[in-house]
Amino acid sequence: MSTATDDLQQVKRKIFDELTKIVDPEIGVSIMELELVDKVDINSGKVAIDIHLTSPFCPAVFGFKIAQDVRDNIYKLKDINEVKVNVSNHFMADAINKQVNESKYPAKTA
């Protein structure tokens, strides 16, 4: 019989698997390998992810892409109903957070 703790661990593993697939477009390395993910909170199908970018002045277009990929990839996972991404330590952080978190969610896949 599966417990809530087992389920949470399974969801966490899926989230980290997805995060590992997301690559910084500028340097072609996984955001997990670059240690850009600061925090992942999971609560009843809602996920909040704090990330930072490689530098406070990395091109904003890459920051938007990374944040959007994080949000969209995690949202597509089964049992995830909401994803909020918080980018910190970047000159465009507020704009990135607003645009990404207010964008339409992608369609769920089976």
- The per-residue pLDDT for range 72-88, each reduced to its tens digit, is 999 999 889 999 999 99
For 36, the token pair is 């850009």
| DSSP calls for 5-47 | HHHHHHHHHHHHHHHHH-EETTTTEETTTTT-EEEEEEETTEE
pLDDT band at 43 (very low <50, low <70, confident <90, very high): very high
CA distance 94 to 76: 24
Closest to 85 measured CA to CA, from 9, 58, 95: 95
Q: What is the pTM of this model?
A: 0.93
| Residue-range domain boundaries for the chain | 4-102
CATH code for the structural domain at 4-102: 3.30.300.130
Q: How far apart are CA 40 and CA 74, in angstroms?
A: 11
2 pLDDT band, cuts 50/70/90, is low
